[in-house]
Structure 1
Amino acid sequence: MQHPDVDLFVIGGGSGGVRAARIAASHGARVAIAESANFGGTCVNRGCVPKKLMVYASRFPDQFKASRGYGWSPTESVFNWHDLITHKDTEINRLEGIYRTNLEKSGVSIHADHAEIVDAHTILLGLSGQRVTAGTILIATGGHPTRPDFPGNELAITSDEAFHLPELPERVLIVGGGYIAVEFAGIFAGLGSEVTQVIRGDHLLRGFDTEVAGILAEHQARRGIKLVRGQSLQRIVQIADGLRATLSDGLTLDVDTVMLCTGRAPNTRGLGLANVDVKTNEHGAIVADRHGRTNVPSIYAIGDVTDRLNLTPVAIREGQAFADRLYGGLTVPDFDYEMVPTAVFSTPEIGTVGLPEHIARERYPQLKVLKTKFRAMTQLFGGLEDQVFVKVLIDGPSDKVVGLHLLGDGTAEMAQLIGVALTANATWADFRHTVALHPTVAEEIVTLKG
């Protein structure tokens, strides 16, 4: 295409789209971006950031309790939901402003508008009616929570609405067993709600290491979270003092809030994909290769809209790599999606890198499993019951560490650095040759004996 208005038009102002736009502009490309909602996307506005702030808030009761073992006599503490939400909103507004400012400083043209693809090189902006031509179009529109179809589903909330509840519910029913459900169960329970969690299967956190998930379920029960297994939600009706939820076995639960954490779907509606025949899969996700290329040569896609590994840092990495390859002329190595460090901000939290045991056993017949479980010094001295769990998975013949799974306070921070080691193909001998840092929880990893 000759003389387009811009070299790159990015649809979606979340973490991945913003990174791609900024890096492309830094390489000298003329870049425009469109976002119809809030810059920063799900992570900043309705996901990682506000959720982590609420996780921090929910852990204070444990800290108050433990402080007595350390000689403190804390005065009576009163939690105020309104103060938390107000402070959270202030912080989110600040962060969204930073995203906009960084785009402006990079020279990216910003459109607070809905963008629709008209043809392989043309974007139509819904509010202004402006048409913008582009050499390349990048779709980075992310995803949204799904709402299963059953009677009364409109009475439930999703994670989007959970950040804006007018008050802390006394009784909460959470439907789903994934990381979002687990995290919000911990948040509400920690803040004082009575929490029931309903899952279809037998285990929390499908896809994660089942042993770690089982230990987390034990800790949830200790915190008063009631887990109902093998059931699904069939109906919700309004009653005088809240909501009545009916499960598949006929059991009814009277609660104040029902939160649906039953999956997410790609944001592809209204993008005009049919206008250019961009290929999507059976779930509506855009089909793209490891470099983000779709079946239309001028159109790329990254992040959750491709429904591969729906994590903010993955979208950022994909956006950076896309811009470096196309506009920086750089050779960017593919990264291993199986070695992406992942955290679940439950209480206690989970940090994991690599394969879970059930997959590792299929792939590595001579798998060695080393593990330990103990109470850390900080919990033991403070009179808390939380445990630390460490599991290392090693391919016997090569000695390569193929998975490392942690549960306990601070393990998400550990997983980030463990990810460096496993990405570098570290062997168990490399871990064992590393001097332990004492006294820490992390030293238990390098001192494990098998």
Structure 2
Amino acid sequence: MSSQLSQRTDRRHDVVVIGGGSAGYAAARTARDAGADVAIVDQGPLGGLCILRGCMPTKTILRSAEIMALMKRAREFGLAPVNAQADLAAIVDRKNRLVQEFADYRIAALRDPGFTLYESRAEFISPHEIRVGTLHIRGNAFVIATGSRPAEIAIPGLDQAGYLTSDDMLDVRRAPSSLLVLGGGLVAVEFAQFFARIGTKVTMLQRGATLLSDMDQDVGQALEAAFQAEGIEVITGVSFQQVTSTPTEKTVHFRQGSAVHSRSAELIFQALGRRPNLNGLNVEAAGVDVIDGRLVVGPDMRTSQPHIFAVGDVNDLTPIVHLAIQQGETAAWNATHAEGPARVIDHRLDSEMVFTDPQVAVAGLSERQCRARSIPYLTASYPFADHGKAMCLGASHGFVKLLCRPDTGELLGAQIVGPEAAELIHELIAVMYFHGTAQDLLRIPHYHPTLAEIVTYPAESILEQMGQA
């Protein structure tokens, strides 16, 4: 059967991109600009995860909760108290309007006549051919950019009790009275704080030792302290046992240490991660290596088949949008430039942001990574609670931490938990881009009073440790 299928080809393209999200569109655009005949295959809805279910909708609703939280603090700033009430349906409507604007722009780009767009599902029938609807399409190169989907976690009774994923939570139009959040990663913490701020009683159950357990421990601990100050219950180090339910509530039973506990709520938000979306793609026919459900790629974004690339969430390397775009551009360049050295991804400046309050931003190496790789480092931190501009803003949670080489003071990494952390980290990324040092941070003028000048204090401490103060 497969030999018969391979003899039939209805269409041919130089590069076939499967998936039209951020990574896929970046690959398609780069390949087109290199002069390739490019096809995009996307079964829809068009727009991609970031626009439809990720970055843009979540940041939109978080802004509403941020404003509401400030309104509730009016008396603290010498203002008359405000009786702030959230209208979740109106928040969702605003989110939908903005998402549609973003999606319309992306859809127009995908339908540009410079591409051939197939709005259908793709299925590999050989390493060089896919089935798209009733068509068989052959490509000189393929870029798989099919994104991710919520992970399915086996907890006894969870399916029967019912739960919502991050995809579902964006469309909830009535705030539940109480919410159990399973997980403590980026998605879990953003949604947890949003619902807590609009009036839901939130309990977080995290398997790791801290929130954001992939980061350094002090980062998660600082965020946990801020959450608890807002009334969010955070329970870490749990092992899920089972879920039971009644018509009015759902109960999660879990072990913490040697004891078994339980918490109940109206709804359960299952935020225990996402998985590469390979459903229906038939990657077995493509002959690419798959490990633990993800497509294995090298630094040039090639899979085990040199003409097939995998970018974005589907390779599960760094599920961050700007890095997915970089991967897409790298894959397309390599797919269209057979001559010369391949382009590869440099992860030295990798960063991640979490848009809670306080925000979390990390860049470069963490202490955990330095220890694992036996990289020597010096570190110093400084709290926002002792920083003038932060005190004026009433934003006292968190800190700035720098990691530097002991011999030169070159900045290896940075972590910020605090106000506008996602903006502030970019100064440190810029310094790292030029292989700058703690001394450079002190030489760069910083206006007073600003949040940005806080980075000079740990830089001073680093130089003291180096004997250069």
| TM-score class, shorter | over 0.9
Q: Distance in 1 between matches of 2:341 and 2:215?
A: 33
Change in CA separation of 1:50 and 1:398 when aligned onto 2, cut-off 3 Å: same
Aligned residue type for 2:66: R
Report the TM-score, using the length of structure 2 for normalisation: 0.89
Of 301, 305, 315, the match for 2:314:
305
Q: Distance in 1 between matches of 2:333 and 2:154?
A: 42
Aligned residue type for 2:391: L
Aligned: 1:293 with 2:298:
no
Question: RMSD across aligned C-alpha pairs, in angstroms?
Answer: 2.3
8 Å CA contact 1:401–1:425 kept in 2: the answer is yes
Q: Distance in 1 between matches of 2:100 and 2:33?
A: 25
Within a 5 Å distance, the mapping from 1:140-159 to structure 2 comes to: 140-154=145-159, 155-159=162-166
8 Å CA contact 2:23–2:324 kept in 1: the answer is yes
Report the TM-score, using the length of structure 1 for normalisation: 0.92
Aligned to 1:315, the other structure's residue is in SS state helix
Aligned to 1:151, the other structure's residue is in SS state coil
Within a 5 Å distance, the mapping from 1:393-404 to structure 2 comes to: 393-404=403-414
Aligned residue type for 1:153: L
Per the alignment, residue 323 of structure 2 pairs with 314
Aligned: 1:135 with 2:140:
yes
Change in CA separation of 1:239 and 1:411 when aligned onto 2, cut-off 3 Å: same
Q: Mark the runs of 5 or more structure 1 residues left unpaired by the alignment.
A: none
Aligned: 1:54 with 2:61:
yes
Aligned residue type for 2:309: Y
Aligned to 2:264, the other structure's residue is in SS state strand
Per the alignment, residue 324 of structure 1 pairs with 333
8 Å CA contact 2:300–2:343 kept in 1: the answer is no
Per the alignment, residue 354 of structure 2 pairs with 344
Spell out, residue by residue over 1:90-142, the C-alpha distance to the aligned partner (whole angstroms, 9 max, x if none): 221221111110122361111221100111221101xx311122111110111
Q: Distance in 1 between matches of 2:27 and 2:451?
A: 37
Aligned residue type for 1:306: N
Change in CA separation of 1:153 and 1:294 when aligned onto 2, cut-off 3 Å: same
8 Å CA contact 2:363–2:425 kept in 1: the answer is yes
8 Å CA contact 1:22–1:103 kept in 2: the answer is no
8 Å CA contact 1:219–1:386 kept in 2: the answer is no
Per the alignment, residue 380 of structure 1 pairs with 391
Change in CA separation of 1:419 and 1:334 when aligned onto 2, cut-off 3 Å: farther
Spell out, residue by residue over 1:163-195, the C-alpha distance to the aligned partner (whole angstroms, 9 max, x if none): 112311110111112111122211111221111
Aligned residue type for 1:185: A
Per the alignment, residue 417 of structure 1 pairs with 427
Which is further off, 98-107 or 223-232? 98-107
Aligned: 1:22 with 2:32:
no
Q: Distance in 2 between matches of 1:209 and 1:414?
A: 19
Of 246, 249, 254, the match for 1:247:
254
Within a 5 Å distance, the mapping from 1:102-141 to structure 2 comes to: 102-105=109-112, 107-125=114-132, 128-141=133-146
Aligned to 1:309, the other structure's residue is in SS state coil
Per the alignment, residue 95 of structure 1 pairs with 102
8 Å CA contact 1:198–1:232 kept in 2: the answer is no
Aligned: 1:190 with 2:197:
yes
Change in CA separation of 1:152 and 1:51 when aligned onto 2, cut-off 3 Å: same
Query: What's the CA shift for 1:157?
Result: 1.3
8 Å CA contact 2:72–2:84 kept in 1: the answer is no
Of 275, 278, 286, the match for 1:265:
275
8 Å CA contact 1:341–1:416 kept in 2: the answer is no
Percent of residue pairs bearing the same amino acid type: 27
Aligned residue type for 2:14: D
Q: Distance in 2 between matches of 1:86 and 1:196?
A: 26
